[in-house]
Structure 1
């Protein structure tokens, strides 16, 4: 999937990029026509971000 990220600057940059990606997805979803799969995908993105934050805290 890629190389491990160990230094703090790279970790912060990675998290910022992932958060920006999430915000783009969130902005693109029409609340009137959002499907359950769309919501599930966004929840999974938040869960993945949370997991990465926890991993980075440990390293």
Structure 2
């Protein structure tokens, strides 16, 4: 696993990068050929992003 990010600027940068990655994946999906596994992966990516947001919020408290 990677090093913990405690600097708020680095946390924001990390979240922006992850969100950009999610948007890029979303842009490449073709609705006509999307399978359930693709949707599951998108949901997992959002869950992971939400978890990171919660972790970063807790480091400030």
Tell me the TM-score range normalised by the shorter chain.
over 0.9
User: Which stretches in structure 1 are left out of the alignment for 5+ residues?
Assistant: none
1:7-42 residue CA offsets vs partner (Å, 9 max, x unmatched)? 100000000000000000000000111000000000
Counterparts of 2:46 and 2:31, CA distance in 1: 18
TM-score after normalising by structure 1 = 0.98
Could you say what the CA RMSD is over the residues aligned between the two structures, in angstroms?
0.4
Corresponding residue pairs, total: 59
Q: TM-score, normalised by structure 2?
A: 0.95
